[in-house]
Structure 1
Amino acid sequence: MARPDCVIALDNGAGTIKAGVIGRDAAPRLVPNCVTKTKGGRGLLGILTDWDVERLVWERVFSPEGLGCEPGHSWLMLTEPCLNLPNVQDAYDQVVFEEFGFDGYSRLTAPHWTVANDLGPLFGEPAGTARDCVLVLDTGYSFTHAVPFLRGRALLGAIRRLGVGGKLLTNHLKEMISFRQWNMMDETYLVNQVKEACCYVAQDVYADLEICRGAPRANTVIQAYVLPDFSKRMQGYVRTIRQVLWMNNERFTVPEVLFYPSDLGMPQAGVAELILQAVQATPEALHPLLYANIVLTGGNARLPGFRSRLLAELRRLVPAEYPVRIGLPDDPVAFAWHGAGCLAAGAHPSQLALDALVTTRADYQEYGTHACRRVFGALSA
């Protein structure tokens, strides 16, 4: 199968699209997967909920001002959510081939792209170190997924989902700020910036709570976030002196929901137990290998202290004879996108070549979505 001159990798995250041309772009472009609407002269975040809007965003990404590739002479590598519904998958196929007219198309999950990377350096091992078993914890905008892999193939029956992502954390922070200080319920985008600038994962929640209860001058947790005025300053920033928006125990109690969703009344397991459940759903012989090769991706993995807290929580749950190792990339948001480049280059010995994972427009026109399902199921077991 002859490859086109342009292969586009588009990690279609619910919060941020990561897009670039394989072999040309050293890093992806980050595009908010959202639209804005006017309300009192202010821009508000509007999460995409239908394909008509998604198409508009993609048109901007593929335009000459964006990636500058002609879809009719390009292949598209696209991510989809884990455990995606068949009717949604059919919509992906239809939009890619019938609306944009791509010449070829590959649809996999972001964790599939993640395991195509060279994971050895994440665990202090030489580059190119092969590993048969990997567990990817993908904690993004909408959900958190624990996905076990065996020789590059996802074990579908062992995938576990937590209904907590960056969106829920932002909404929770909005409610806390609105209750304690002033109404921020219509400032989703702004509060999301506050979360990313101020929040962290506490290693000892009760110790940090005691600090917050103490004398203000001795409080090492509290921060002041200077809000933008949307005239001269469009982005807020953190200062250590008394200023507009105080961030106290919100800094760590909001991310705590990732570890204990029951704090919000959600009857679900936290991220540590999520990994435990995913591993226990695999054959017992794989358990020590999966615990020793956990990779973190997604925006929530950037929270300071997330990796060390998760390691401590897991160590208490995992049998003592099993080693627990967690790899955190320098940029967990773009790590999956870089894996698409490795997948396209055939750099991962346990992965199928990209040519075997692409459905051409000719195949789609002849067989429809059945051609896509047959090809894209090759990396699942």
Structure 2
Amino acid sequence: MARETPTAPPPSGEIQSQTLVVDPGAYTIKAGLVPTHDAETEPECHVIPNCMARSRTKHTYIGSSLSQCNDFGEMQFKRPVERGYIVNWDLERAIFEHEFFDPKAKLYCDPASTNLILAETPTAPSALSSNADQIIFEEFSFATAYRATGPSLNSLNPLPPSLAPSTQPSPPSPPSPTAMSLDHPSPQPSLPIEIMLLIDTSHSHTTITPLLRGSPISRAVRRLDIGGKHISNHLASLISLRHFSLIDEPHIVSQIKEDACFVSTDFANDLDRTWRGTRSDRRVPTPDIVAEYVLPDYEVLKRGYMRRPGGVDPSTVIAAAAPPPPEREEAFPLSNERFTPPELLFSPLDVGLQQSGLPDTIMQSLAQVPEALWQGLLGNIVVVGGNALMPGFVERLEKEVRMLAPAELEVRVARATDPVGATWRGGRVLAGREEWLGRMVVGREEYFEYGEGWVRRQFAGRRWPSKAGEEGTET
């Protein structure tokens, strides 16, 4: 265990020629190697399953090796992340060693000559953060590292195009420059983004984080314990109750969710449109919602697909997949199963969770910041995470937040250009700017000399510049 000392900090460790940027999500790891001295390159973001899986034939897969599996039937998964936090470092270490430290791995690197940027949730307990620091420096032996909150890294990405400021002329008597920067997006905002409200809706939970100049406003961070896992579980329950038992098929259920689920912008109306009536008064559901899902058989068809009435939906079927013969096909209808599970994000009480829905939670977060910041936050709501890919999510969220927000304030919600890899891409921006990176990282020698408590405070207090050439600060 590293010792504690009150000694003043020395300069950070020497910056290495490459940086491993890792966003260890509960469902997938987003990772890639970024050259430190070249901010213009476009390194690839690798999406790696963050799990160890065991097939019904007793074969074990770890991380990216899961892509070699041809039969996901009755697959059992073990994940190192629970409720959004890394709680099983033995398993996470095994995945890291397979993906980053094996000489045959695509992202192989020598930790002793590599910088590390590791993303974590802004609500992570300090004990778990200290565990991560211990693994980074004592087990992996990275030369330098920076443990950053995911929302802070997202503030280094440009705003989505739909949040670009209008080209209307400024009013004749504008307020002070400071007020302008907080109340209205800049015409060409520098990085980090001056002000934004980040919604990260991922596998295990959803977080709401107001950011000012790249730093989370900690007292206003809110967490909703609904994520993609809960949506999948609810979908599995509905399908198992009405059609096939898929409780033990989480991989298939996740694919059904990705292919078929959407967020209804008018839930009550869509329920009525899919109602089949009573025995004495049968009704035909609206065909633009009703569909069929064809299950994979892992012989002819390796992945299932959604089929609209009258044929295959070209947006969801895999091009290389050939449908099985009709006599061997296993398919079932989907109606309100397509939009009922995602409704949990807006109504957690549907599954007995005593929490407010996402729009109300956003307003609870705003209540913790000065009202002078509300326009800037409501006007720059950015959604990231896998659930952001569901059709209708952004439209529904904007509609409901607008109903709750003060009428005189503009509400704008946009999905990040790459919602799954957005946090990683923010880390890539930081990794490509050597001067910024040098201000943020802590060296391995510093860790052993000054202790994990000092390192934790450094990671919590360091800030990157809000403008080019501006010094970062420490708190």
TM-score by length of 1: 0.93
C-alpha displacement of 1:122: 4.4
C-alpha displacement of 1:345: 3.5
Aligned match of 1:374: 457
CA distance in 2, matches of 1:308, 1:174: 25
C-alpha displacement of 1:368: 2.2
CA contact (8 A) 1:122 1:329 kept: no
Does the residue aligned with 1:18 lie in a helix, a strand or coil?
strand
CA distance in 2, matches of 1:359, 1:371: 10
CA contact (8 A) 1:60 1:66 kept: no
2:388 is aligned with 1:301: yes
- Given candidates 155, 180, 183, the residue that maps to 2:217 is 155
More deviation, 45-54/173-182:
45-54
CA contact (8 A) 1:359 1:371 kept: no
Unaligned runs of 5+ in 1: none
Does the residue aligned with 1:229 lie in a helix, a strand or coil?
coil
Task: Give the 5 Å matches for 1:306-325.
Answer: 306-325=393-412
Aligned match of 2:98: 60
User: Partner letter of residue 290 of structure 2?
Assistant: I
2:79 is aligned with 1:47: yes
More deviation, 327-336/306-315:
327-336
Aligned match of 1:264: 351
2:291 is aligned with 1:223: yes
2:164 is aligned with 1:124: yes
Aligned match of 2:181: none
Aligned match of 1:19: 31
C-alpha displacement of 1:379: 5.1
Aligned match of 2:280: none
CA contact (8 A) 1:295 1:328 kept: yes
CA distance in 2, matches of 1:379, 1:116: 15
User: Partner letter of residue 431 of structure 2?
Assistant: A
C-alpha displacement of 1:217: 6.8
Cα–Cα, structure 1 residues 233 and 322, in superposed 2: closer, same or farther, change >3 Å? same
User: Partner letter of residue 281 of structure 1?
Assistant: Q
Identity rate, percent: 36
User: Partner letter of residue 91 of structure 1?
Assistant: N
User: Partner letter of residue 272 of structure 2?
Assistant: E
CA distance in 2, matches of 1:73, 1:183: 50
CA distance in 1, matches of 2:20, 2:106: 12
| CA deviations over 1:27-61 (Å, ceiling 9, x no partner) | 31000111112346642222225111111111122
2:372 is aligned with 1:282: no
2:240 is aligned with 1:178: yes
CA contact (8 A) 2:34 2:432 kept: no
C-alpha displacement of 1:219: 2.8
CA contact (8 A) 2:21 2:431 kept: no
Task: Give the 5 Å matches for 1:197-276.
Answer: 197-214=259-276, 215-216=283-284, 218-241=286-309, 244-276=331-363
CA distance in 1, matches of 2:248, 2:78: 11
CA distance in 2, matches of 1:324, 1:50: 40
- Given candidates 407, 426, 434, the residue that maps to 1:339 is 426
CA distance in 1, matches of 2:231, 2:455: 35
CA contact (8 A) 2:237 2:247 kept: yes
Larger radius of gyration: 2
CA distance in 2, matches of 1:86, 1:129: 33
CA contact (8 A) 1:139 1:300 kept: yes
Cα–Cα, structure 1 residues 241 and 322, in superposed 2: closer, same or farther, change >3 Å? closer
CA contact (8 A) 2:160 2:416 kept: no
- Given candidates 26, 29, 48, the residue that maps to 1:31 is 48
Aligned match of 1:102: 142
| CA deviations over 1:329-362 (Å, ceiling 9, x no partner) | 2320111111112223349xxxx92212111101
C-alpha displacement of 1:218: 4.1
CA contact (8 A) 1:78 1:106 kept: yes
CA distance in 2, matches of 1:52, 1:105: 20
CA contact (8 A) 2:75 2:249 kept: no
Cα–Cα, structure 1 residues 205 and 100, in superposed 2: closer, same or farther, change >3 Å? same
User: Partner letter of residue 441 of structure 2?
Assistant: V
CA distance in 1, matches of 2:132, 2:198: 24
More deviation, 81-90/34-43:
34-43
C-alpha displacement of 1:209: 1.1
User: Partner letter of residue 82 of structure 1?
Assistant: P
User: Partner letter of residue 251 of structure 1?
Assistant: R
Unaligned runs of 5+ in 2: 1-12, 36-40, 59-73, 81-86, 166-185, 277-282, 311-329, 464-474
Does the residue aligned with 2:53 lie in a helix, a strand or coil?
strand
Higher relative contact order (CA 8 A, sep 6+): 2
Does the residue aligned with 2:418 lie in a helix, a strand or coil?
coil
More deviation, 220-229/7-16:
220-229
CA contact (8 A) 2:381 2:412 kept: yes
Number of matched pairs: 377
- Given candidates 197, 205, 216, the residue that maps to 1:143 is 205
User: Partner letter of residue 200 of structure 1?
Assistant: F
Cα–Cα, structure 1 residues 237 and 167, in superposed 2: closer, same or farther, change >3 Å? same
C-alpha displacement of 1:142: 0.9
C-alpha displacement of 1:257: 0.5
